[in-house]
């Protein structure tokens, strides 16, 4: 029987009974209550007992409605997040790791850190035995002192050569002057010869006039003898003057008599440049000047041309400045300077090796994977420990290829880290996409050339940089699981916003290190 039928039967039964005699409903019939009951006792509320199941249902419906409303309110943020973000559960914290290795071999004397110690850039982590390298530094310093002394000696030697060169230059000028003097002497000798010839001609004329006059007695024999003597003396003087001319010509490297003409003063115009003594002085000067770095282009150049070219080394022709430059560029000096520079470089290398005995941290971070102890003999490049950065970290999120169409550089990202649960949410920004899916970057990439290809949704690593990250307050550790939520409906911001590939940036120009003098 339904609730409505039961309610109707009960009502009819109550209405058909006399006053003071209630009826008890049992099943589908109503039985009169015993008359022995006390008239003062109230009748049981039969109608209220019948309505109680309907109130409970309303209460249940109210509780269910409130629960459904709460469920809808609780699911609303999740629904909004699902509709406005792209997410993946395949993401983790990543970062750079710097392996600490010595640059020189040696024996470890101290290890100053242990695993999980926090270090700063420049902190000494390991110390090697410095004594062998200190010995090398001392040897290099001695070599530098020797090279400096050799340089001073070379400079003094070049200054001596400079003085010799100056002297030979004056010797060349003197040789030229001597030739010019010889030419002038030749001309003087020729003039004397001409004078003697004139005297001979006069003596010959006097003698010729006296011969006929001797017979007539106009000229005495004594006078004739005097004129004969004067004639003979004049001839001897002419011969003497002629021999003097021949002597000077031969001294100048010329034939006694000119091959053409009778002019005994004929000499080549460049005799003062080609004479043997001048050439000898020129080549002596060339030999001396070559020791200070003066190179003569041709040995056929005349002394005057050579000296003129030498003066052209300075715009004002200042001989002192010319020699100062030659002193600095002299081969001996340059060689000594090169040896000094080599010795200095050896000293620098020795001191650098000595400094490498202190193995320092190159970054700020935390020490991990320590694998060195005092007394170990290590070689250059051997890994001693690793330092992981606390600040230079990011999140690698492997999104499905079906999600990549909505992702762009510059999009804001909310990051939930399992380590902190719902206590803290990190903020990030997409900074780039890896050029290749995870399967292609694996150590053993999948080989599908056999034809047994089954299409599998690929995942592409997406790099997410952290924003306003402070490791001192809330640190993140490498490898922690992360759930990123990329706001695909918000406009990208920051550098390269909205792009998929980062633009090409020219590499910075590195400056050459300064060279030591």
Q: What is the 3-state secondary structure (H, E, C) of 404-435?
A: HHHCCCCCEEEEEECCCCCCCEEEEEEEEECC
Task: Report d(CA 72, CA 64) in Å as an integer.
Answer: 12
Lowest mean pLDDT among 10-19, 161-170, 508-517: 10-19
Task: Report d(CA 192, CA 234) in Å as an integer.
Answer: 12
- Looking at residue 375, what is its pLDDT? 95
Q: What is the 3-state secondary structure (H, E, C) of 364-392?
A: CEEEECCCCCCCCEECCCCCCEEEEEEEE
Task: Report d(CA 424, CA 446) in Å as an integer.
Answer: 39
pLDDT above 60 (res 49): no
Task: Report d(CA 185, CA 179) in Å as an integer.
Answer: 10
Q: What is the 3-state secondary structure (H, E, C) of 432-458?
A: EECCCCCCCCCCCCCCCCCCCCCCCCC
Rounded percentage of the chain residues whose pLDDT exceeds 90: 43
The CA dihedral of 371, 376, 381, 383, to the nearest 10 degrees, is 0
387 in Cβ contact with 365 (< 8 Å): yes
On average, the pLDDT of the chain sits at 83
Identify the residue with better confidence: 253 or 349. 349
Q: Which helix (H) or strand (E) holds 193?
A: helix 131-216
- Looking at residue 502, what is its pLDDT? 87
Taking only the tens place, the pLDDT of each residue in 412-428 is: 999 999 999 878 999 99
Provide the 3-class DSSP secondary structure of residue 40.
Answer: coil
Q: Going along 239-384, which residue ranges are E strands? A: 358-360, 365-368, 377-378
Lowest mean pLDDT among 36-45, 220-229, 302-311: 36-45
Residue 19: pLDDT band (50, 70, 90) is: very low
Task: Report d(CA 437, CA 400) in Å as an integer.
Answer: 10
**Other CB atoms within 10 Å distance of the CB of residue 247:** 14
Which of 65-74, 124-133, 257-266: highest mean pLDDT? 124-133
Question: What pTM was computed for the model?
Answer: 0.62
Average pLDDT, stretch 240-260?
A: 87
Q: Phi, psi (5° rounding) for residue 321?
A: -65, -35
Average pLDDT, stretch 238-252?
A: 89
405 in Cβ contact with 422 (< 8 Å): no
Task: Report d(CA 512, CA 517) in Å as an integer.
Answer: 15
Sequence-distant (≥ 6) Cβ neighbours of residue 162 within 8 angstroms: 292, 323, 326, 327
Q: Going along 219-348, which residue ranges are E strands? A: none
Provide the 3-class DSSP secondary structure of residue 506.
Answer: coil
Residue 225: pLDDT band (50, 70, 90) is: confident
Rounded percentage of the chain residues whose pLDDT exceeds 70: 83
Lowest mean pLDDT among 28-37, 45-54, 187-196, 249-258: 28-37
pLDDT above 90 (res 443): no
Longest dimension (CA), the chain: 237
The two structure tokens encoding residue 252: 């100048």
21 in Cβ contact with 32 (< 8 Å): yes
């Amino acid at each position: 029987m339904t609730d409505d039928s039961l309610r109707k039967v009960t009502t009819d039964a109550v209405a058909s009974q006399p006053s003071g005699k209630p009826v008890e409903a049992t099943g589908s019939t109503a039985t009169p209550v015993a008359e022995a009951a006390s008239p003062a006792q109230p009748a049981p509320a039969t109608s209220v007992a019948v309505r109680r199941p309907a109130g409970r249902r309303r209460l249940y419906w109210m509780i269910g409605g409130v629960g459904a409303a709460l469920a809808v309110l609780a699911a609303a943020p999740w629904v909004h997040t699902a509709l406005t973000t792209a997410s993946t559960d395949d993401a983790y914290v990543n970062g750079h790791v710097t392996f600490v290795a010595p640059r020189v071999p040696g024996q470890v004397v101290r290890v100053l850190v242990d695993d999980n110690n926090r270090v700063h850039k420049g902190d000494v982590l390991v110390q090697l035995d410095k004594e062998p390298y200190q010995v090398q530094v001392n040897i290099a310093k001695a070599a530098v002192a020797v090279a400096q002394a050799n340089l001073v000696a070379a400079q003094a030697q070049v200054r001596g050569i400079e003085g010799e060169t100056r002297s030979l230059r004056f010797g060349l000028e003197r040789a030229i002057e001597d030739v010019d003097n010889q030419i002038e002497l030749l001309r003087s000798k020729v003039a004397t010869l001409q004078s003697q010839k004139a005297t001979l001609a006069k003596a010959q004329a006097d003698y010729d006039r006296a011969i006929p006059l001797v017979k007539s007695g106009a000229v005495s024999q004594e006078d004739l003898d005097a004129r004969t003597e004067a004639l003979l003396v004049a001839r001897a003087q002419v011969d003497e003057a002629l021999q003097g001319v021949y002597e000077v010509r031969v001294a100048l490297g010329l034939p006694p008599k000119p091959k053409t003409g009778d002019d005994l003063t004929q000499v080549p115009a460049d005799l003062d440049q080609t004479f043997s003594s001048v050439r000898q002085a020129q080549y002596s000067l060339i030999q001396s000047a070559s020791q200070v770095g003066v190179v003569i282009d041709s040995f056929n150049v005349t002394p005057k041309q050579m000296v003129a070219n030498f003066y052209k080394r300075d715009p004002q022709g200042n001989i002192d400045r010319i020699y100062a430059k030659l002193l600095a560029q002299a081969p001996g000096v340059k060689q000594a300077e090169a040896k000094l520079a080599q010795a200095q470089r050896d000293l620098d290398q020795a001191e650098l090796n000595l400094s490498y005995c202190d193995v320092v941290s190159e970054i700020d971070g935390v020490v991990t994977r320590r694998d060195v102890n005092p007394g170990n003999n290590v070689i250059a490049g051997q890994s001693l420990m690793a330092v992981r950065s606390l600040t230079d970290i990011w999140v690698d999120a492997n999104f499905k290829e079906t999600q990549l169409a909505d992702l762009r550089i510059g999009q804001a990202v909310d990051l939930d880290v399992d380590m902190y649960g719902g206590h803290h949410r990190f903020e990030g920004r997409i900074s780039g996409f890896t050029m290749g899916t995870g399967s292609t970057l694996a150590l053993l990439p999948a080989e599908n050339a056999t034809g047994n290809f089954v299409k599998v949704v690929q995942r592409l690593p997406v790099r997410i940089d952290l924003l306003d990250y402070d490791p001192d307050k809330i640190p993140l550790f490498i490898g922690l699981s992360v759930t990123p939520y990329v706001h695909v409906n918000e406009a990208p911001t920051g550098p390269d916003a909205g792009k998929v590939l980062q633009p090409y940036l020219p590499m910075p120009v590195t400056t050459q290190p300064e060279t030591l003098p």
